[in-house]
Structure 1
Amino acid sequence: MGIVIAILIFGLIVTVHEFGHFICAKLSGIKVLEFSVGMGPKLLQKAKGETKYSLRLLPVGGYCAMEGEDSTNSDPRSFRNAKLWKRIIVLFAGAGMNFVLGFVMLIILVSMMDGVPTTTVDDFKRTIAADGAVTYYAQSYETGLRQNDKIISIDGTRIYSTLDLNYVFDTCDPNVGHKVVIKRDGERVKLDGVFFKNTYGDGGVVDFAVIYKNKNPLTVIKGSGDLFMSMTHIVGLSIKQMFSGQLHKEDVSGPVGVVSAISESTEESESFLDALFQVIYMTALITINVGIFNLLPIPGLDGGRLLFCFIELVRRKPVKPEHEGYVHLAGMVLLFGVMIFATYNDIVRLITGVKNG
């Protein structure tokens, strides 16, 4: 069941992406030859005007085929003959719809929570004796953090939501002091040598709680926006690690690994609501990831095509279609190779039972 859900999530994300291209192409007057939901053999197809609408067998993607995307075309309504600003909007619209889907998913996610989490400190790990004496187990309190402090950054990493806090705590050393920027009484304050460590029991780095706001339309939208910023931030950090070589080749994962992760998270959930929460969370994270990755200036991706649009803007004339086509072909071959390698990693992990990270 989890695998079916994962495939449907991929299908939704890609279809929404292609719908962004489709609707903006239509609004821009660019001729759309076909809009397809799914890939592979056709199940249904209906022509309406100049566009064919298809439903295909494999629910793992889709596409929007426009007239004259990759070649010179005499049709005045072809993609390459459209005004430059229209082409830029059409190319960006796919990722834009991924971001819209991600934000909608996060609004649903926050609405399911008991309260809206913030990055403002509520209380610290502590005990109160019968005589009123307070013993703090939270090293963050002992090293400068206080109640009602709003955490802005830790070691230069911007903190937008509790998702960023979890990301930092998952990677930080409890025995190392950190540089923390907070907002206290309306002013930004820098703290040096802050330790995140609970000295009671099994310990751990999480030694304080955060304030949760009551849910209303404003707090839900604000909380969703904070989570959206966190996800884009974390995806950006992951991409940076990948290109800088900080990410080991064994950590590279592809669609098989993502499907496996979604399947595991849903099947291990204790209730239907918990499983639904996990599905919505994963959908938001993946669609934001897809949106950001597609905007990278890599040949073959929307970002690569946008790069050629900006080159045209500077040169005041387009690059020859055949030259641009060769570059995109090379990029697609490279991406295909990376995908094969990532899939190989995923399969090895499934066979050996070794989990990523």
Structure 2
Amino acid sequence: MTTVIAFILMFGLLVSIHEWGHLIFAKRAGMLVREFAIGFGPKIFSFTKNETLYTIRLIPAGGYVRVAGEDPEIIELKPGHHIGLEFNAANKINKIIVNNKSKHPNARVIEVEHADLDHELRIEGYEIDEEDKLRFEVDPKAFFVMDERETQIAPYDRQFASKSPRKRGMQLFAGPMMNFILAIALFLFLGTFQGVPVDEAKMSEVQPDSPGEEAGLQENDEIIQIEGESISTWEEFTAIVQDSPEEELSMTVDRNGEQESVTVVPRAVETPEFTIGQVGVQRAFEKSFLGTFEYAFTQTYDTTNMILTNLGMLITGQVSIELLSGPVGIYDATDQVVQTGFMNFVMWTAILSVNLGIINLVPLPALDGGRLMFVGIEALRGKPVAPEKEGIFHFVGFALLMLLMIIVTWNDIQRLFL
């Protein structure tokens, strides 16, 4: 149950902060945000505030911000339609009753001859059995009412396509950007409450029943030599240990100013790619105000570099697609991390936040990066790509991404259960 709660909280935080970035910059640009959703599928909770419907949906596989104009508008008024009109105090249309007009006895029913709800904001038509043409102005925040559900109209200046490439690009980039900011904030939290890792090969804790405890290693020991070779950093220490599973290593440690000799046999641990050695010790930390900020930014940079390197290896075929993890694999990894403590869970969340930011910037269809690519092409050529061509690109790409997700999830299930 602890893992389930942790996974839900982590997933909710990562997706919410990502979509919140899209939401804030869409509203700053004057776009009409129809919906802010966490998850997909049927709604399980919703409320409306400041023109936007906020929903939590059943399937925890992402989220979205639906901006007016990104998809075809839900309702289109065509000549011959019979609609009901309600008016505000300024005598402008504030409700357009599409059906069930009998439930709105005060609505003025007309037959549409012409409607422009994008630019001119007017409706022209005739009352039933009347010949005089009528013209009505539409409030920019008027609503369609269909099946007794209200949907706000979206004049062109509130639509995504009406904004400059710079504003659209910033709205798309804001989601991944917020994931990087979240990672920095989480690493700041770790640096503040846990401390900043020391550079030296100094340990803060020796795990029970570990090779390190069996060898006699103690808290605050500092490794200064392995097999006669000087050791000055934690990275040097861990690299030798990981490369020496089940091999006897002679170490010299500095313990309270005195040198002690110990012999350690790293335990072999299987990973998806290879076998590594572990001795069961944790790195020492120290409190540092300025060091905390340096740590937050360097950890975010190092994590970004690591993920980009692995992504490049995947693209070039140096690593197999079978090593990718989907929601099932991430849940399993989260379960293992949760058991090691809260601070490790926070670090895992920060790493996943960077990963989510990077993946969304990859120029693939249906992702932020793919849409940013089209905005960039428009900025370079001075005119947008035909909506039909862009739509096909995203549709085909989304289908391929769903296929990839199915394959990755199946690989996760095989690793865990088969």
Task: Check 1:343–1:170 CA distance in 2 against 1; reply closer, same or farther (3 A cut).
Answer: farther
Report the Cα distance in structure 2 between the residues aligned to 1:252 and 1:65, rounded to whole angstroms. Answer: 29
Structure 1 segment 172-191 matched on structure 2, within 5 A: none
**Counterpart residue number, 1:18:** 19
Q: Aligned pair count?
A: 294
Report the Cα distance in structure 1 between the residues aligned to 2:14 and 2:396, rounded to whole angstroms. Answer: 25
Deviation at 1:71, TM superposition (A): 5.1
Report the Cα distance in structure 1 between the residues aligned to 2:335 and 2:285, rounded to whole angstroms. Answer: 32
Report the Cα distance in structure 2 between the residues aligned to 1:309 and 1:8, rounded to whole angstroms. Answer: 33
Report the Cα distance in structure 1 between the residues aligned to 2:309 and 2:160, rounded to whole angstroms. Answer: 34
Task: Check 1:52–1:122 CA distance in 2 against 1; reply closer, same or farther (3 A cut).
Answer: closer
Task: Check 1:166–1:313 CA distance in 2 against 1; reply closer, same or farther (3 A cut).
Answer: farther
Query: What letter is aligned with 2:356?
Result: V
The yes-or-no answer on 1:293 pairing with 2:365 is no
Task: Check 1:285–1:211 CA distance in 2 against 1; reply closer, same or farther (3 A cut).
Answer: closer
Query: What letter is aligned with 2:55?
Result: S
Which residue among 161, 169, 190 is the counterpart of 1:88? 169
Report the Cα distance in structure 1 between the residues aligned to 2:69 and 2:191, rounded to whole angstroms. Answer: 43
**Counterpart residue number, 1:100:** 181
Task: Check 1:119–1:240 CA distance in 2 against 1; reply closer, same or farther (3 A cut).
Answer: farther
Structure 1 segment 1-357 matched on structure 2, within 5 A: 1=1, 2-58=3-59, 60-70=61-71, 75-113=156-194, 115-119=195-199, 137-138=225-226, 142=229, 198-200=249-251, 201-202=263-264, 214-266=286-338, 268-269=339-340, 274=341, 276-352=342-418
Query: What letter is aligned with 2:291?
Result: T
Per residue, is there more strand in 1 or in 2? Answer: 2
Larger radius of gyration: 2
Gaps of 5+ in 1: 124-134, 152-161, 175-196, 353-357
> Structure with the greater relative contact order (CA < 8 A, sep ≥ 6): 1 or 2?
1
Deviation at 1:339, TM superposition (A): 0.7
Q: Is the 8 A contact 1:103 1:224 kept in 2?
A: yes
Q: Is the 8 A contact 1:296 1:303 kept in 2?
A: yes
Q: Is the 8 A contact 1:3 1:260 kept in 2?
A: no
For 1:172-220, what per-residue CA distance to the aligned partner results, in whole angstroms no more than 9, with x for missing partners?
689xxxxxxxxxxxxxxxxxxxxxx95442366899x999674233111
Task: Check 1:306–1:167 CA distance in 2 against 1; reply closer, same or farther (3 A cut).
Answer: farther
- Percent of aligned positions that are identical: 35
Task: Check 1:322–1:172 CA distance in 2 against 1; reply closer, same or farther (3 A cut).
Answer: farther
**Counterpart residue number, 1:190:** none
Task: Check 1:137–1:220 CA distance in 2 against 1; reply closer, same or farther (3 A cut).
Answer: closer
Normalising by structure 1, we get a TM-score of 0.72
Report the Cα distance in structure 1 between the residues aligned to 2:376 and 2:364, rounded to whole angstroms. Answer: 14
Normalising by structure 2, we get a TM-score of 0.62
* Root-mean-square deviation over aligned CA pairs: 3.2
Task: Name the SS for the 1:253 alignment partner.
Answer: coil
Q: Is the 8 A contact 1:3 1:262 kept in 2?
A: no
